[in-house]
């Protein structure tokens, strides 16, 4: 089957529970880092390099939490378009704008799309990992990304 035809036929809707799980993961890192800060403040002998190392771990946890919170989204793949919603507003980009797809170790898929001068970084829950590994949406998006790279290289 031709990839363009498959793009028109492939349909995927992410589940709200996946987005909620990612939000919980993002929010959970923040109290964890606050607990680490309280531990650092109660340890007076923690100075110099150990203090900098502990603070860098805390900052990393905050950054990780924010990235998860702001990147987690609902997605839909319909009629050759990738639609996504971070909070309330739906945006749409053509599948040809997908430049990177990576299946993460956690039950998540990372997608980068460059369209209209903007770079969109998306993380979504691809469905039940127990049914098939990797999930069909991940395989489809990796195939689309590979084809996009080949088309880009052939044009330049």
pTM as predicted:
0.65
pLDDT in tens, 125-143: 777 655 556 678 888 888 9
pLDDT at 99: 92
User: Which pair of tokens denotes residue 139?
Assistant: 């395989």
pLDDT at 73: 77
Distance, in Å, from the CA atom of 52 to the CA atom of 60, rounded to the nearest integer, reads: 12
Topology classification of domain 3-14+71-155:
PH-domain like (2.30.29)
Where would I find the beta strands (DSSP E) of the chain?
A: 12-13, 74-78, 81-85, 90-94, 98-103, 109-115, 118-124
Tell me the HSE value of 94 on the side-chain side, using a 13 A CA sphere. Answer: 6
């Amino acid at each position: 089957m031709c990839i363009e035809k498959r793009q028109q036929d492939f349909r995927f809707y992410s589940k709200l529970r996946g987005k909620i799980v990612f939000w919980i993961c993002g929010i959970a890192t923040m109290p964890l880092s606050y607990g680490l800060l309280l531990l650092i403040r109660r340890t007076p002998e923690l100075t110099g390099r150990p203090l900098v190392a502990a603070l860098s771990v805390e900052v990393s946890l905050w950054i990780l939490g924010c990235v998860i919170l702001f990147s987690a989204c609902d997605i839909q793949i319909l009629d050759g378009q990738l639609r996504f919603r971070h909070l309330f507003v739906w945006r749409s980009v053509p599948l040809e704008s997908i430049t990177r797809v990576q299946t993460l170790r956690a039950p998540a898929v990372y997608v980068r799309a460059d369209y209209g001068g903007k770079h969109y970084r998306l993380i979504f829950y691809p469905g039940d990992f127990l049914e098939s590994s990797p999930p069909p949406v991940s395989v489809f998006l990796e195939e689309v990304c590979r084809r996009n790279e080949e088309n880009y290289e052939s044009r330049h």
